[in-house]
Chains A and B, each alone.
Chain A
Amino acid sequence: MKVLDIALKDMLRSFRSGFALVMMFVVPLLITGIIYSAFGGLGGDGGFDLPVTRVQVVNLDQPGPQFSFSLGQMLVGFLQDERLAELLQVTEAADEANARAAVDSQDAGVAVIIPPDFTTAALAPEGRASITLYQDPTLTLGPGIVKGIVSQFVDGFAGTRIASGVVADQLGQRGVAIDASLMQEVAMQYGAWAEALGRSRGEGAHPALDIQPPPSKTEPVSQGAGMMGPIMAGMVIFFAFFTGASTAETIIREDEVGTLARLFTTPTPRAVILGGKFAAGFITLIAQVVVLMLASAVIFRIRWGEPLSVALVALGLVVAAVGFGLFIMSFLKSTRQAGPVMGTVLTLSGMVGGLFTTGIPNLPAAYDTINLLTPHGWVLRGWKLVMAGGGVGDVLLPVLVTLGMGIIFFAVGALVFRRRFA
């Protein structure tokens, strides 16, 4: 009972603080709102709209008779995929001169010129071929997207060539005859795997961790809403950790003003006092996360995902934030130290955890691994999975890791505080 009394007292004080309320509820929504507005704002689908880039593609590829397919044609098909329709409007040009002229006259933003020997060179052991991108110099975002997509295709094909080479070598060593149809089969299988890998990385899943949701569960989301969700998730996580640390800071604050010592003179065990502080952080954070999720769902039309999975990820976030906050504060002597240290540690750990780069696509895979050094990164991972349609089974690993990290941080923090006030 006293645990709740202490928790309610702390919460009453928190919710009476204008600064705390602003930091808990207003700032996360405000920052997300600024990003939201900066990218075109209050569009009909609730996200922001990237301008569609007009692309002229010239396919000069002429594969030899030994090939039953054309890589150039595959690239054209890749660019014309309906899933890219929100980003690209692709038209096939008759020849290179027409394509370049379209860009010069600003009828197109980018011209993609596929060379005549593309298939032949690409499949030859030492072959080289270059795709030319001719772009409107006044544009940045659209050509960047086209470059990224074409690079993804070319990287995938380079991998195909390496995979085919390895298969050919190994089968050759075992005396197995290799024909063109077998090589095509290997190339197709590798292509399918690479495509799936690219998709999983786009959803924030690390290729070394097979925890991406089944594609069948993935709901199609608009480009805007798909980007706003992780950005808002990053803000929720960052400010939840801020609240966790602020709640733990009340222990130091109460020590300074003498109310903690006074609490120790009452017939209340120290574990109950610390438990009350933990409960205050826990309940406050639940309120904060729920309010931010509901508000962002209404304002930015973010679809957070399946409720039970969302609840599990939120639970992991709350426990990790309370534990991490107590851990940091247990090493600080005064509230004068707490301000700058809290700001620095939370910002750095948030950066390492990837909270501020959620809207940036195609980050290196190594960055995904670095994110997982922090509880922030694991919470973000869980949230991305939930927003991509993941169920309980999919988020179980990140949730368990965040819970574990939170409990360990809490135990260490509680131990340090216990020794300090012994």
Chain B
Amino acid sequence: MHKNFGDVYAVQGVNFDVQAGEIFSLLGPNGAGKSTIISMLACLLEPTQGDALVMGHSILRDPMAVKAAIGVIPQDIALYEDLSARENLNFWGKMYGLRGAALRQRVDEVLGVIGLAERQKGRVGKFSGGMKRRLNVGIALLHKPHVIIMDEPTVGIDPQSRRNILDNVKELNQQGMTVLYTTHYMEEAQELSDNIAIMDQGKIIAHGTHDELVKIVGELDRIDLTINAEAGRVLERWQATEGVHQVSAENGQLTLLVDDSNVVLPRLFESASRGGVRITSVEIQEPNLEAVFLHLTGRALRD
């Protein structure tokens, strides 16, 4: 699929398959095109070029069938705050075609799943952020969709609610739902996904399982450093240091991909000392998706 907004190419020739029953993550920084893809798959936007099939239904030719097959959990909470939790679920259930006893039963089930059965009559406007998040998820589950689409559901929430949502995603997947998940948190993609597509500037730049992706950077170690001076004072010198493959500086932090951190680190300390620079913190990480993104784009996978 392609999607242009005037001269802005938000999605450029993206093509991927998601197998039934798997968790598939689109991982990339903000502006990579993840939400645009989600909007097209949810039939909110039409592709400028191309098409997608969801459960065999074309998003262009049969959008109602696609919408009936998916449950979308939007990035921002989308609820009626002046209605109660139960009234929200009742309304959204009707929008998915549920009626009567089936609707009542399903609302009861979902209230149980999201842990809001005891607060079902409370106005949503008076709920905590975490409770709203859970209700936001619950709405997408009402019609037992085949595919759940989650667009960065953990942005801006507390660690406990985040943990709940990640656990929910796993539970839904264990119940047989296919999950398409977008995030810019490497840890979430790593923890949840069977398959991951790494996106940057509207394109998928790498695609595979976590292990397959990590192999792209081979056996390289990643070292995160902070120093007591401008990064420019050591950048060129470290790029030229033996055993260093890549150096990037962002927000006062330097990230290096190196052959063997045990060997390279002393060289870095020595080089810094000679330049009158002091290294104030060091963190060594095994190869991960962050390193893959750095390797492929030359930039860190941060906001």
Contacts and interface: CB of A to CB of B under 8 A. Distances in A.
Contact of A17 (B42, B70, B78, B82): B82
Given A12-B87, A13-B82, A265-B67, A5 B94 contact: yes
21 contacts: A2-B94, A5-B91, A9-B80, A9-B83, A12-B83, A13-B82, A257-B76, A258-B74, A258-B76, A258-B78, A262-B72, A263-B95, A264-B43, A265-B67, A265-B70, A265-B72, A267-B64, A267-B95, A267-B97, A268-B95, A269-B64
B44 A261 contact: yes
Nearest to B41: A265
A266 B78 contact: no
A259 interface: yes
B87 A266 contact: no
Given A2-B95, A13-B83, A266 B74 contact: no
Contacts of B80: 9, 13, 259
Given A2-B94, A2-B95, A258-B77, A265 B42 contact: yes
Contacts of A264: 43-44
A260 to B, nearest CB: 9
A12 B87 CA distance: 10
Nearest to B123: A16
B71 to A, nearest CB: 8
A415 B80 CA distance: 26
5 smallest A-B Cβ distances: which pairs? A258-B78, A266-B95, A267-B67, A262-B78, A265-B72
Given A265-B42, A265-B43, A259 B79 contact: yes
Category for how many chain A residues contact B: 20 to 34
A264 B63 CA distance: 10
Interface of B: 42-44, 64-65, 67-68, 70, 72, 74, 76-80, 82-83, 87, 91-92, 94-97, 139
Nearest to A5: B94
Contact of A267 (B77, B78, B83, B96): B96
Nearest to A14: B82
Contacts of A257: 76, 78
Contacts, number: 57
Interface string A94-126: 000000000000000000000000000000000
A269 B64 CA distance: 8
Nearest to B71: A265
Nearest to B76: A258
A258 B97 CA distance: 20
A331 to B, nearest CB: 22
B161 to A, nearest CB: 18
B96 A261 contact: no
Given A264-B44, A265-B43, A9 B76 contact: no
A16 B95 contact: no
Contacts of B74: 258, 261-262, 265
Contacts of A12: 83, 87
A262 B140 CA distance: 10
Contacts of B65: 267
Interface in A252-279: 257-259, 261-269
Contacts of A16: 82
A15 to B, nearest CB: 10
Point out which of A259, A261, A266 has the most chain B C-beta atoms below 10 A from its C-beta: A266
A259 B95 contact: no
A266 B96 contact: yes
A17 B78 CA distance: 19
B229 to A, nearest CB: 45
B34 to A, nearest CB: 16
A279 to B, nearest CB: 14
Contacts of B70: 265
Interface string A3-47: 001000100110011000000000000000000000000000000
A339 B96 CA distance: 33
B79 A266 contact: no
Contact of B78 (A9, A259, A269): A259
A79 B91 CA distance: 67
Nearest to A263: B95
Contacts of A263: 95
A13 B79 CA distance: 12
Nearest to B81: A257
A1 B76 CA distance: 28
Contacts of A268: 67, 95
Contacts of B79: 259
Contacts of B83: 9, 12-13
A21 to B, nearest CB: 13
Contacts of B77: 258
B221 to A, nearest CB: 42
B40 to A, nearest CB: 12
B286 to A, nearest CB: 38
Nearest to A276: B95
A261 B77 CA distance: 11
B215 to A, nearest CB: 37
Contacts of A258: 74, 76-78
Nearest to B91: A9
Interface string A347-383: 0000000000000000000000000000000000000
A266 B72 CA distance: 9
B82 A267 contact: no
A258 B72 CA distance: 12
A259 B67 CA distance: 15
Nearest to B69: A267
Nearest to B94: A5
Contacts of A1: 94
Nearest to B66: A267
